[in-house]
Amino acid sequence: MYESPIKEFFRSSLKNFNFMLGLIMFISILVLAVFADQIAPYAYDAGNPAAKLTEPCKEHLFGTDEMGRDLFSRIVYGTRITLKVALIGGSIQLVLGVVVGLFCGYFGGVVDKAMLFLADLTWCVPGMVMALAVVTVIGTNLTNAIIAIALVNWASMARTVRAKTMSLKNMAFIETGVAFGESDFSLMFRYILPNIVPALIVMVSMALPSTIMSTTTLSFLGVGSQPPSPDWGLMVSDGIQYITKAPWLAIYPGLALVYTVLSFTILGEGLRDLLDPRMKSQG
Amino acid sequence: MQYVVKKLLLGIVLVICVSFLVFSMLYMMPGSPVTLMAGEGASLERLEEIEKEYGLDRPLLVQYADWLYGVTVEQDFGISFKYRLPVWDLVEERIPVSLRLTVITALIQYAVAVPLGLLCAYKKDTIFDRAAMITSMIMTSVPSFWISVLLMIAFAVERQWFPLSGFSTWKHYVLPITAGVLSGLATTMRLTKSEALDVLREKYILTAYAKGLRENAVRCKHVLRNSLIIICVQVFQSLPWLISGYIIIEKIFVIPGMGGLMITSIINQDFNVVQCLIFLISIMTVICNILADLMLGLLDPRIRISIGGGDK
């Protein structure tokens, strides 16, 4: 019996533990980000000189920092930054990866060789080092940190897209398209691209955890978000200065970060099980 | 031999390209180091004077050629704008510190992760395997800077077993190395597991069982030896990545290594130091990758034949 692929997807997704768990975790983060104004009891930059470095208590669930700012509120607002990182960083990698990968896989030749060489170049220096260098040049703020990480990470996505394109290029339906007189552009984006969409979704969701972690690390090192931004990396690095007096300052933001990264990892694994046909046939 | 030479040449080309890329990136950078040296509010003439003195007014290619010549022929990496010292003097004493940490970390990490990974492969789908896999998934979601912070809180603040920062006695090594080991452990373990599972599916394992070898003999002689091939290669390939991982750990524990220097230089916009460090790290990456390739050939005769056969 015929069942629409979307319906089938929803049915099997209900049975996939990883996917559901990841989705629930992700939705909880999304809710925090959207309703931050309602959920957070204080503003993220509202200092209270009377309550500096308060231990976690009833009024301040996670305590306060050196300026008397409520840590819980700051963490809640921090979800917005992290989701922004995931959204922008993921999109840049996706667009670059898809366009470059499609062009290289479809046309081959000199463009392809040049791209492989470029990929070799980025692989020659560890990503963190390269990202640090890029951020130095384009300036230290959150958007630039996101761009730097994306510039370092896109190559692996392009490689996968390239490989998939090359294997699809010789299939019969492409020849049919050629016979219909379709242009190269149309063949690439209307014939090949839809066929790699499931793989793309999986790739992006697998790339997000490391994107978030690397960008937060840049903020931690002081070359990403700048104070008073409630970026979790920045908060942990501020917390280190007060590590003996107020360890909670460094603990809670990190915990929030791990929760977020974990939610994307689990969601990614679930999506892979659901969408990767190779895995599906095995299971 | 021909293969090695070819790889070396390609490596040299790669290193030169990377260094040129970084050089031109830093050249285009808006905040000029000249202002840093002259200090705030220096006159325009003074700025131009400094620019001339350090040859910063010349075109990009000339500057790069000059730099490359200095590096390769005279081992002269230029002068640090911040410290007013030759860059090499700054870097020289920091290399061994970082290398020592990295090598110790790599050794411990593989000594722990490989047996665990093998065990997971042998006991696939048991509770032990599931628990190990879930733990490793959680561990890959923890950034190394937070691991370091947690270790500090647990073992330097709550219980003062180890010092918080600095680098003199053996006690100073414990926390940074633990952080380094923990941050890479999960990945290595997963790699070992999947590698061992691949080997277990091979036909020669079936043959080994069929000829009546004991379980342990098969595991040690066949599975372990064959999965070690990829793992040995991985050790070499991961060294540069460990060094870059130590950038973060060195900063947290205030260790006088290459990573700490790199961060401060980047924040201070100290061109030459950054350039020199990236150059060194890319050379190390290339060397490690060539070593990994050679190792692979040495350990796996099948690959050696296909390489030695060359172009057929």
Residues in A closer than 8 angstroms to B286, CB to CB, are: 124
Our CA-based measurement puts residue A107 at a distance from the nearest CA of chain B, in whole angstroms, of: 25
B45 or A75: whose pLDDT is higher? A75
Residue A228: cis peptide before it, omega within 30 degrees of 0: yes
Neighbours of B66 (CB within 10 A): 13
Q: Chain A residues with CB-CB distance to B under 8 A? A: 120-121, 124-129, 132-137, 139-140, 209, 213, 216-217, 220-223, 233, 236-237, 239-240, 243-244, 247, 250-251, 254, 257-258, 261-262, 265-266, 269
* Residue B272 and residue B77 in contact, taking contact as beta carbons nearer than 8 Å: yes
Q: Which stretch, A80-89, A177-186, B161-170, B251-260, has highest mean pLDDT?
A: A80-89
The pLDDT of residue B259: 83
Please name which of B224, B202, B241, B219 lies closest in space to residue B114, comparing C-alpha atoms.
Answer: B224
User: Is B61 part of a structural domain of the chain?
Assistant: no
Residue spans of alpha helices (H) in B201-270: 203-210, 215-217, 225-252, 258-268
Handedness of CA A192, A194, A195, A200 (dihedral sign): positive
Residue type, A243: I
- What is the spatial distance between Cα B140 and Cα B134, in angstroms, rounded to a whole number? 10
> What is the mean pLDDT of the segment spanning A109-117?
83
- Which residue's structure tokens are 């190779």? A278
The Cα of A140 is separated from the nearest Cα of chain B by a number of Å equal to 9
pTM of this prediction? 0.84
CATH architecture of A10-282: Orthogonal Bundle (1.10)
Cβ atoms of A212 and A146 closer than 8 Å: no
All residues of chain A having their beta carbon less than 8 Å from the beta carbon of residue B21 are 121
Residue B133's domain spans which residues?
95-256
Above 90 in pLDDT, residue A66? Answer: no
Over residues A207-233, mean pLDDT = 89
Mutate one of B26, B36, B141 to test the A interface: name it (highest A CB count within 10 A): B141
Chain A and chain B share a number of CB contacts under 8 A equal to 125
Please answer yes or no on whether B143 and A132 come within 8 Å at the CB atom.
no
**Is residue B290 situated within a structural domain?**
no
Q: Do A133 and B22 touch (CB under 8 A)?
A: yes
Chain A partners within 8 Å of B22 (Cβ)? 133
State how far the Cα of A208 lies from the Cα of A197, in Å rounded to an integer: 16
* Contact flag A137-B267 (C-beta cutoff 8 Å): no
- Closest Cα of chain B to A42: distance in Å? 25
Tens of pLDDT along chain B (312 residues) come to: 777 788 888 888 888 888 888 888 777 765 566 666 666 666 777 777 777 766 677 777 888 888 888 777 777 777 777 777 888 888 888 888 888 888 899 889 989 998 898 888 888 888 888 898 888 888 888 988 999 889 888 888 778 777 777 777 777 888 888 888 888 888 888 888 888 888 888 888 888 888 888 878 788 778 887 887 778 878 877 777 777 778 888 888 888 888 888 888 887 777 788 888 888 888 888 888 888 878 777 777 776 655 554 433
Instruction: Render pLDDT for A17-31 as a digit per residue (tens, 0 to 9).
Output: 888 898 999 999 999
pLDDT at A282: 37
The yes/no answer to whether this complex scores an ipTM above 0.85 is: no
* Cβ separation B244–A222 shorter than 8 A: no
Of the candidates A87, A10, A79, A86, the residue with the CA atom closest to the CA atom of residue A44: A79
Residue B165: CATH number of its domain: 1.10.3720.10
pLDDT on residue A280: 44
In a domain, B224, yes or no: yes
Return the pLDDT at B277. Answer: 87
Rg (CA), chain B: 24
Average pLDDT estimate for A257-272: 91
User: Phi and psi for B85 in degrees, rounded to 5?
Assistant: -130, 155
User: By C-alpha distance, which of B190, B49, B210 is closest to B133?
Assistant: B190
| Integer Cα distance of B138 and B145 in angstroms | 15
Q: Please report the beta strands in chain A, taking only residues with DSSP state E, as ranges in sequence order.
A: none
Residues 6+ positions from B258 with CB-CB distance below 8 Å: B91, B94, B95, B97, B98, B243, B246, B247, B250, B277, B280, B281
- Residue A65 corresponds to which amino acid? D
Asked if B243 and B287 touch (Cβ cutoff 8 Å), the reply is no
More confident of the two residues A103 and B70 = A103
Is B273 contained in some domain? Answer: no
Tokens (6 digits) for A173: 């339906």
Amino acid of residue B208: A
Q: B-chain residues within 8 Å CB-CB of A258? A: 138, 141-143, 146
Q: Which residues of A touch B150 (CB under 8 A)?
A: 251, 254
Q: What is the mean pLDDT of residues A249-268?
A: 92
A139·B152 Cβ contact <8 A:
no
The pLDDT value recorded for residue B309 is: 45
For the beta carbon of residue A24, count every other beta carbon within 10 angstroms.
12
| B244/A126 CB distance under 8 A | yes
Hey, what amino acid is at B268? N
For residue B76, give the 3-state DSSP assignment: coil
Question: How far apart (Å, rounded) are the C-alpha atoms in residues A29 and A258?
Answer: 12
pLDDT in tens, A118-157: 777 777 777 888 888 888 778 788 999 999 999 888 888 8
Chain mean position to CA A200: 13
B75/chain A closest Cα distance in angstroms? 21
Round to whole Å and give the CA distance between B218 and B214: 6
Number of helical (H) and strand (E) elements in chain A, helices listed first: 13, 0
Task: For chain B, count helices (H), then strands (E).
Answer: 15, 0
Of B143, B158, B266, the CB nearest to A136: B266
Q: Which residues pair with B86 in a beta bridge?
A: B79
Query: A184 CB contacts (<8 Å, ≥6 apart)?
Result: A106, A107
Residue B145 and residue A125: Cβ atoms within 8 Å? Answer: no
pLDDT of residue A83: 93
Share of chain A above pLDDT 90, in %: 25
**Residues in A touching B244 (Cβ below 8 Å):** 126-129
Count of structural domains within chain B: 1
pLDDT of residue A208: 92
The answer to whether position B176 is within a domain reads yes
CB atoms within 10 A of CB A210: 20
Phi, psi torsion values for B241, nearest 5 degrees: -70, -35
